[in-house]
């Protein structure tokens, strides 16, 4: 069975930074399917601006027609706080012990890995693909940096050869876009155009999310 790759996030809202990264990862691993996994309640941050159902709707619009991306809404269906260890354990149960499973994390997320629930089990369950985010430097004495050095995968191909445990560092072009920046622009009445797909922005406006005025075009 081909490698299974998941890319989790709040996606509040999904934007071109997320989408480009997902495609870059897919290509660099040999056109594998990448599943975007919206979280239900993110454990490490406050309330989301859009509901789970609204964030899912925006994701569906964003990936429409893209064959290498799909959505896995298991964390939304599971409800409660979304812990990556639970998601990986569930997936591992479905895939069996031999299928390579990988999770994509930006360096901002990876830097806080040692605060995640059962984080030590994560490398037993999956590979980790760490994507460099500009300006984020890992503490060289911290557990995430140590894990990266100890389990480093020399190439993307190495991830296909075993089921879990390798850490691959990738440095694809990073678009300087954040969901926070988009929400802020909208709430200030500024245009968010070109930061996310038009279909996503039109739906944000239609639903009046993040303080958007449905009567006024972005
Ligand atoms: P927020 O601004 O609300 O914190 P965000 O834009 O950082 O949101 P998240 O949904 O929190 O998006 O991020 C999910 C994952 O996507 C994280 O691993 C994060 O590192 C990554 N990510 C966020 N922005 C980008 C970007 N511009 N390019 C590539 N990956 C990104």
Query: Where does ligand 1 bind, in terms of residues with CB under 6 Å?
Result: 9-12, 17-18, 21, 105-106, 108-109, 133, 174-175, 177-180
Provide CB contacts within 8 A for 25, sequence distance 6+: 5, 7, 34, 104, 129, 131, 170, 172
What pLDDT, in 10s, does the model give residues 91-113? Answer: 999 999 999 999 999 999 999 99
Question: What pTM did the predictor assign?
Answer: 0.95
Q: How much is the pLDDT for 214?
A: 82
**Average pLDDT over every residue of 66-84:** 95
Write b or e for each residue in 27-42: b if 16 or more Cβ atoms lie within 10 A of its Cβ, otherwise e. Answer: eebeebebbbbbbbeb
Q: Hey, whose CA ends up nearest to atom 14 of ligand 1?
A: 9
Tokens describing residue 85: 């260890």
First to last CA, the chain: 44
Which pLDDT value is given to residue 194? Answer: 97
Q: How far is C-alpha 153 from the chain's CA centre?
A: 20
8, 12, 17: residue to mutate for ligand 1 pocket, most atoms within 8 A of CB = 17
| Inter-residue contact 77 to 110 (CB < 8 Å) | no
pLDDT, mean of residues 2-28: 97
Looking at the predicted structure, is the pLDDT value of residue 44 above 70?
no
**For the CA atoms of 23, 6, 160, 64, what is the dihedral angle to 10 degrees?**
-40
* Dist. CA 180 → ligand 1 center (Å): 9
């Amino acid at each position: 069975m081909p490698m299974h790759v998941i890319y989790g996030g709040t996606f509040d809202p999904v934007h071109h930074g997320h989408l480009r990264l997902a495609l870059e990862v897919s290509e660099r691993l040999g056109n594998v399917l990448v599943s975007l996994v919206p979280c239900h309640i993110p454990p490490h941050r406050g309330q989301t601006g859009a509901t789970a159902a609204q964030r899912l709707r925006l994701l569906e619009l964003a990936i429409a027609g893209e064959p290498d991306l799909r959505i896995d809404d298991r964390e939304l269906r599971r409800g409660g706080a979304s812990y990556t260890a639970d998601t990986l354990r569930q997936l591992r149960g479905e895939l069996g012990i031999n299928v390579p499973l990988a999770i994509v994390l930006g360096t901002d997320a990876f830097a806080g890995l040692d605060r995640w629930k059962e984080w030590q089990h994560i490398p037993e369950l999956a590979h980790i693909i760490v994507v460099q985010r500009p300006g984020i430097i890992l503490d060289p004495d911290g557990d995430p940096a140590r894990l990266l050095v100890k389990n480093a995968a020399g190439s993307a191909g190495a991830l296909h050869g075993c089921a879990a445990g390798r850490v691959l560092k990738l440095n694809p072009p990073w678009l300087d876009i954040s969901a926070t920046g988009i929400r802020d622009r909208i709430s200030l009445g500024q245009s968010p155009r070109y930061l996310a797909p038009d279909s996503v922005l039109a739906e944000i406006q239609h639903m009046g999310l993040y303080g958007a005025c449905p009567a006024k075009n972005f």
